[in-house]
Structure 1
Amino acid sequence: MDFEEAADTLYAASAADFIATRNELAKQLKADGDQLGSTRLKAMRKPTVAAWVTNLVARELPDELDDLLALGDEFREATADLDGERLRELAPKRHKVLDKLAKEATKLAEQQGQKISADVGQKLRETLDAALVDPAAGDAVREGRLSSALRHVGFGVVDESGEPTNVTPLTDERRQKARERRKAETAAEEESAAARRKREKAEQEQEEREAAKKAEAKEEFEAAVSAAQQAEATVEDLDNQLDEAREALAEAQERVRRLGAELDDARRAARDAQKHSREARKRYNRL
């Protein structure tokens, strides 16, 4: 078994058996000589109930999930084309597909003994919707190894009715502002080439500084996330060790209690034997 097979097996396990399954698979990978795979597997987080159900969908309903992701592609194409009519047609289909898939997922989970609360059902639907909206989220859901539910605010370029957000009827006031903007743009174009190049250079330098800051912030964020994940894995490992130690302590305490009771019984038996011995000696001496 390699790491990928172990990871798939781990996230196919029931939520209740996740920790035990992870430990067993990690030991197997280590025994097979894959120390890196064993370490990576130990760092994998236990899925929430919503994430577990989503992973179940990826395994048991792959065709239905592909239909959902394909619908997301249609939404993105219509959004890029600013096709409001097409977006209005797709909106009810989006809700219908999400409702159907969430219902089937709930049924699958309950067949495996996992009850789905209203909160979990909402998080499941939000995760499926995120997969529809975001290709990266779709790939993550399809992989079937989520540890947490996902959420997306929407496509970000359409309003609630499905219209592109930048298609808005112009009022007289908006027309006037548009004219003023065009006049300002014309005035700016009449500036000298040297002044324009200077402004553009300053803007470019500012963008480069901002990009550098953003890249640095991203590196710090990724490092912080990695450190947090490692810390969480350490905590979970120590928690498992503590549980094992507590179990061993309970067994030792029970053994101490049992041996103590046996010792008390043995002492009583010894006292009785000594008493009988003294009485027997007295009878013997009287003979």
Structure 2
Amino acid sequence: MKIDLHSHTYYSDGALSPKELIDRAHNMQVDVLAITDHDTTAALPEALAYQAEQKRSMRIIPGIEFSTRWHGFDIHILGLNVDYQNAVFQQRVAQQGERRELRARQMAEKLAKAGIEDVYQQAKTLAGPGQLTRSHFARVLVKRNAVKDFEQAFKRYLGKGKRAFVTPAWPEISEAVEWIKEAGGEAVLAHPARYDITTKWLKRLLNDFTEAGGQGMEVSHPQLAADTRKLLGEYAKDYGLRASVGSDFHFPGRWTELGKNLSLADDLVPIWQHWNLA
């Protein structure tokens, strides 16, 4: 069974519509797919309805990727198998959207002070129906030739400590975990190897996440080196967390693909252990 529990659509910073994502997952022979857009569940009704029309079976796991703040770092928490239609849960999701909107306007103001005006509306147009993210701002900067590429957009303007960076008012990890669990879901620490923190701080993060009630952590994605994958698996066991896998798919590319290279070691307990995937 091919399982991928981390993917994005154009409702956040992905490139594909929900229908296009479903079609691609079918082409890649994925059996279980979680759709985990940043701070929104807007793609889920469309994705679930479209999958219901397909001849090939595939289980769609309703999910989300919450942005949180921890000791000055942006930490992402996946909510898997959430009751996304729960009214209280949707109120909390709406709050995240409001935080994103405020941050976007503040970034646009800082860019204007740096001599790059009227970025907000262009970024909003690029985002379409989705959440407005720094990636949309980066695309505008590249399009305007203010920078040569995405990397330079973040290094010069949008990255932490740069001219247009705005410290986000994200909730604490414990809040996001609580939201997910109250909606019947399971809280999973997303891509722990990607945070710019030392091993000591990663262990501290895992400890705090576990104490907050977190249930799992990602230990496998396509770009992960074998030794890092093994180390994360050991951490999952050390902290009593179940193991999750996900491509963190945003768009077709050379280095990432739905369902690609997402194996788990036999001694790890999968996050889906008690799910009914039949």
Greater Rg by CA: 1
- TM-score for both structures, normalised by structure 1: 0.22
Structure with greater proportional helix content: 1
Greater RCO, CA 8 A, separation 6+: 2
- TM-score for both structures, normalised by structure 2: 0.23
Structure with greater proportional strand content: 2
